[in-house]
Chains A and B, each alone.
Chain A
Amino acid sequence: MSEGWSTIAWEGVSVRVPTDWSLVGVSGDAHKGYLRVDSPGTSVLEMRWLKAGNKPPELMAKGRELLSNLEKSCRKKGTKLASKIKADGDAVAFWWKADRIGEGRLTYCKKCDRVLIAQVIYSRDEDISETARTILKSMRDHRSDELINWALYGLEFAVPPGYVIDKYTLMSGYLQLSFKNHARRLIVERWGLAKTLLGEGSLIDWYRKDVLPDVKGFRTQLEEVKILDHSGLKMKGQASGIRQALKSAAYSLTLYTNPKLVTGYAWECPESNRLYSVRATHDEGENVAERIRDLIRCHN
């Protein structure tokens, strides 16, 4: 078992898991979703969330339903199922044993109006019930501030409310999470193997080659800055071109405005051998990119 713990968060739902456990699957949105985290062995954490529809749900009934469904599938497979369910404060805790062992927890958050269902499944010869309990107790539905938590593979940050995930790329050595808030865009990226990517060139050369081609419709300029004691750069840009003008004209017919500015930051963290980039389109007086940049902890 690993010594450290790390956070995995998606759509604000967060959980602490041992550092060697990794996110292997995620789907859905803020209303309904699923994530799965695998240990290096055979243990698995499954987590589901769903909106309750402004009506506090009967957690005990939901838990019993879950166990009865499990019993049906066990019966089909010809295995016996033993299970327990009990109230644990505001939450409901359950436990089952068949060919594997499962420990789970159901919670309901009034503020987010979401039901969280999580279970850690492990084989009968593994004894990780203590770890499972710690994982389940660490489940959170929201942060103490208004921001929405996102954390995966060691990349941890939070986005302001209103920003929803648009698309994401989770590759070994490259992560990209792209958010949108009507016409506003926010993109957080992380690259591994920074030294190999940069080679002999500078950070600005790399940024011009790998990031700037994706910033379309803005006249940009770069300047070197220090970010978290690392060498970094700041990108500032102003909307230009016919496409942006047409977009602005189209948005003027709606309640939202087309952002005229783009600000981005990128830095190299030698401690983690990674490159980070945050960029956001915005209007005068907004500082989304700066807020996200300050939340990212690139190394310990």
Chain B
Amino acid sequence: MSQLSNSISKYIPFVARRPKIDRNQALAIIPVRNPLIEWERNGKEIHLSIPMRDDRLARFIKRFVRNLPERRRVALDEVGATVWELCNGQRNVNAIVESVCKNYKLTRREAEASVTMFLQTLAKRNYVALMSFGGSKGAKRK
């Protein structure tokens, strides 16, 4: 059954089942910043400069709308900026959570909830990629 679902999902992506991962596997994930995004620190904040889409639809819209900006800007607040800086491909989610716990004196639970939600949002918008090595083996990796 799973083989069938895998073959179908090759052609119809939304049919694909989301892989189930446990807490340890989730903590072992390594977030990596999208290299196309330029960013700079501005005091406590970080400003991201994100390139606009360049697919067919975007090109079609560009025909009708002139002076469409090439990039858009997103500002991250202090905690967001700290997490963004930590997403350097060297640290996994567990290490980022620990760092946030220490810097902002949050409890482990508070930090874990906030950091994972934030990373999920970044990943949905393609600002970061989430690399998984699987298993609790990776969770020890920092």
Contact = CB atoms under 8 A, between A and B. Distances in A.
Contacts of A273: 104-106
B118 to A, nearest CB: 11
Contacts of B104: 192-193, 196, 273
Indicate the member of A40, A173, A272, A274 with the most B CB atoms within 10 Å: A173
A153 B79 contact: no
A173 B110 contact: yes
A173 B105 contact: no
B76 to A, nearest CB: 12
B114 interface: yes
B121 interface: no
A272 B77 contact: no
B75 to A, nearest CB: 14
B109 A173 contact: no
B106 A173 contact: yes
Nearest to A21: B109
Indicate the member of A20, A22, A272 with the most B CB atoms within 10 Å: A22
Interface string B109-133: 1110110000000000000000000
Contacts of A192: 104-106, 110
Contacts of B85: none
Contacts of B78: 196
Q: Is the interface of B mostly helix, strand, loop or mixed?
A: helix
Interface in A153-187: 153-154, 172-173
Interface residues of A, number: 13
Indicate the member of A40, A172, A192, A273 with the most B CB atoms within 10 Å: A172
A106 to B, nearest CB: 29
A193 B108 contact: no
A258 to B, nearest CB: 37
A153 B77 contact: no
A173 B111 CA distance: 8
A192 B105 CA distance: 8
Interface of B: 77-79, 104-111, 113-114
22 contacts: A20-B108, A22-B108, A22-B109, A40-B108, A153-B107, A153-B109, A153-B110, A154-B107, A172-B106, A172-B111, A172-B113, A173-B106, A173-B110, A192-B105, A193-B79, A193-B104, A193-B106, A196-B77, A196-B78, A272-B105, A273-B104, A273-B105
